[in-house]
Amino acid sequence: MKKVYINLAIRNVVDTDSFFNKLWFNKNEQYSSIDTTNFQINENTYVMLLEDEKFQTFTWEFPNPICNNKIISLQFDNIEEVDVLFNKAINAWATDITKTNDETDKFMHLKSFRDLNGHIWELFFFKI
């Protein structure tokens, strides 16, 4: 696999740009427009964010409505990277939805937030 592109529906490009800029992700202007924005998460992963109407044009063969329950999981190299991005998201008005679990906490450092478009982001580091 060469690259990963995650496509998500959003409400508004301007607000979404503001949110992702606060996370310090790199905006890719080449794949951005009035109703679409694109951010590079790391060297090989991009998130394509399309306003609802534009997103529907990407799913013309699938007549299902836009799903509001999406979870994006990102693995990090250490606990500090998880906490830094999580704190940036919370400071950008994301909602902390982290749930503690004694069993999971033994082998994973996990933080979760819901962004302004309702997407759930799980940030984690395997301790083992």
- Give the CATH number for residue 38: 3.10.180.10
Q: What is the pLDDT of residues 20-75, one digit of tens each?
A: 999 999 999 988 999 999 999 999 999 999 998 888 877 666 556 666 667 899 99
pTM (predicted TM-score): 0.82
Q: Does the pLDDT of residue 124 top 90, yes or no?
A: yes
Residues 3 and 52 in one domain: yes
Last residue of a domain, one of 60, 81, 100: 60
Distance separating alpha carbons of residues 122 and 86, to the nearest angstrom: 9
Residues 72 and 115 in one domain: yes
Domain count, the chain: 2
Can you tell me the mean pLDDT for 91-120? 93
Residues 26 and 6 in one domain: yes
Q: What is the pLDDT of residue 27?
A: 96
Contact present, 124 and 108 (Cβ < 8 Å): yes
Residues 31 and 54 in one domain: yes
Residues 38 and 83 in one domain: no
Q: What is the extent of the structural domain holding 125? A: 68-128
Q: What is the pLDDT of residue 1?
A: 64
Residues 128 and 72 in one domain: yes
SS3 63: coil
